[in-house]
Copies of this chain bind each other. A is one copy, B any other.
């Protein structure tokens, strides 16, 4: 280890974890020379806030500027150099080559020596082929200049109709913001569903919320080309042959890690396409760290490496890299679970851990429980319904993932489950958590408890659950809903016996046939199925999530 007095720490990129790394390094090491080289105009800005300024929900642009170079210098003695793009790392000499652009636009190449280098270049939005010609009204939304460009165009041109391409987090956030501005929005997603990280049914719930606001969603369709007039896109040509007119195209089709610098320096790039790092965020060169959206994180549940372009992990990684670079020691980075959340109008969608799709792709066996519950005591004003799905291992009950869609309190339940997953928890643990209850905040049986209870019933066959899209043909299907519910969402072929009739009428059923009990949410069907199991029926299943979920399959 070098003399601490002379340690030169150079950080490439101020956003995506770089600023966290710098500040932490300084707190640990007063005498190190710490320099942030940032190719953009701002050392640190709230990139997660950009969509909300488009629609004016965040009114003041200055709020997005998290910290200035002056603050970094005055408070931390961290030297911030904006408009400094690192173009090459010379690992032999331990220097970086930088293209520095002055205020008048002149560029010159200079070098910075380093003892420890921390790479935080982040990710960059994928620019699709249809926008290769860069029409003036096709935008991405990743940086402050991107946002300013969108706003300038909205201010100077008449924009009545917008096409948002890509229905991930950023895409959905801008859909809402354009809608706030009274603009007609078309949302185009190449995949068969929006929010591809979620499982289809839960994504469909979110899609229905968006459509209820008058936004048109086109899934399974891609933009093949744009019709241009005077360098302005006037319509999009879609893969289904449709031509959709538009006044502005916003592309949010994902990001990819910025790894060119690292790859050119011979640092190891992982199979998922990010810079490979160890638990202290060191790359294959121990003097070079990498943090943020450019790296591969270790995922919980599977232990596999993967991208995770989310701000929380980037900040935590930055903190660890900064400490380790400054002192040679730090806490180890924990696994990530891809925990993420998005607000879509009055709806919240959140998830943690693996989805059904991801588990199935990896050949991991899992069980699924889906519940409906209110965010707080149903008798207290303002209660709203949420759907919560939990995926778990049989027989251990280890939690593999969770997804939720609803209103208030969705974030809390996913964070509780993410906490349990971080600590290796099972659904048996979830059932026991001593959560804070008062009527404005929850229920004596919280949605997390109910999901755990349902999962435990499944694991213990009291009774077993079956999936929402189960093929019911040939089975004895008992519909325990009310007559009115059956008319609203019919289930052809089912035997209608209301849950309150079942204690007397179960004798009409055949105890030796494989039986599925169905209600609206899965709660009354649990009561009914339990009755049949404990009455000696041999093979009884409860359709998890009930007709409210099956109707979305």
Interface residues of A (CB under 8 A from B): 26-31, 46, 48-49, 52, 57-59, 63-64, 66, 71, 74-77, 169, 173, 300, 310-316, 319, 331, 333-343, 348, 350-352, 377-381, 411-412, 414-416, 418-420, 422-425, 428-429, 431-442, 444-446, 449, 453, 456, 462, 499-500, 503, 524, 526-527, 530-531, 533-535
Q: How many copies does the complex hold?
A: 2
Chain B contacts of A534 at CB under 8 A?
Answer: 27-31
The answer to whether A58 and B435 have CB atoms under 8 Å apart is no
Q: Min CB distance, A453 to chain B, in Å?
A: 7
Closest to A59 in B: B381
CA distance A503 to B499 in the complex (A): 72
Question: Can you list 11 A-B pairs with a CB-CB distance of less than 8 A?
Answer: A27-B531, A30-B533, A49-B439, A52-B380, A312-B434, A339-B435, A341-B437, A419-B425, A422-B432, A422-B433, A423-B429
Which B residues touch A29, using CB under 8 A?
Answer: 534
With A380-B58, A442-B411: A437-B49 Cβ-Cβ less than 8 Å: no
Q: Is the CB of B500 within 8 A of A441?
A: no
Q: How far is the CA of A389 from the CA of B28 in the complex (A)?
A: 24
Q: Are the CB atoms of A415 and B418 closer together than 8 Å?
A: no
CA distance A55 to B342 in the complex (A): 36
Cβ-defined contact, A434 with B313, below 8 A = yes
Q: Which of A71, A169, A415, A500 has the most CB of B within 10 A?
A: A415
For the complex, what is the distance from the CA of A377 to the CA of B343, rounded to whole Å?
A: 14
Q: Beyond the given A64-B379, A423-B424, could you list 20 further A-B residue pairs with CB under 8 A, ordered by the A residue number?
A: A28-B462, A28-B534, A30-B533, A48-B444, A57-B381, A63-B378, A312-B445, A313-B434, A315-B444, A331-B432, A336-B434, A340-B437, A343-B438, A343-B440, A411-B441, A415-B436, A416-B419, A418-B433, A418-B435, A420-B423
Task: Report the minimal beta-carbon distance from A369 to chain B, rounded to whole angstroms.
Answer: 16
In the assembled complex, the Cα of A411 lies from the Cα of B59 at a distance in Å of 28
Contact check, B48 vs A438: say whether CB atoms are below 8 A apart: yes
Asked if B414 and A436 make an inter-chain contact with CB atoms under 8 angstroms apart, the answer reads yes
A434 to B352, CA, bound (A): 8
- The answer to whether residues A48 and B439 also contact, given A58-B381, A77-B503 and a CB cut-off of 8 A, is yes
Q: Are A46 and B434 within 8 A (Cβ)?
A: no
Q: Complex: how many Å from CA A312 to CA B431?
A: 11
CA distance A442 to B311 in the complex (A): 11
| A445: B residues at CB distance < 8 A | 312, 315-316
- The reply to whether A58 and B434 form a contact with Cβ atoms under 8 Å apart is no
Q: How far is the CA of A169 from the CA of B441 in the complex (A)?
A: 14
Which residue in chain B gives the minimum CB-CB distance to A445? B315
B-chain residues with CB within 8 Å of residue A343 when the two chains form the complex: 438, 440-441
The reply to whether B418 and A526 form a contact with Cβ atoms under 8 Å apart is: no
A261 to chain B, nearest CB (A): 24
Smallest CB-CB separation from A71: which chain B residue?
Answer: B500
Q: Roughly how many angstroms separate A414 CA and B77 CA in the complex, as a whole number?
A: 36
Closest to A532 in B: B30
Q: Which residues of B contact A58 (CB under 8 A)?
A: 379-381, 439
Docked Cα-Cα span, A169 to B424, in Å, equals 34
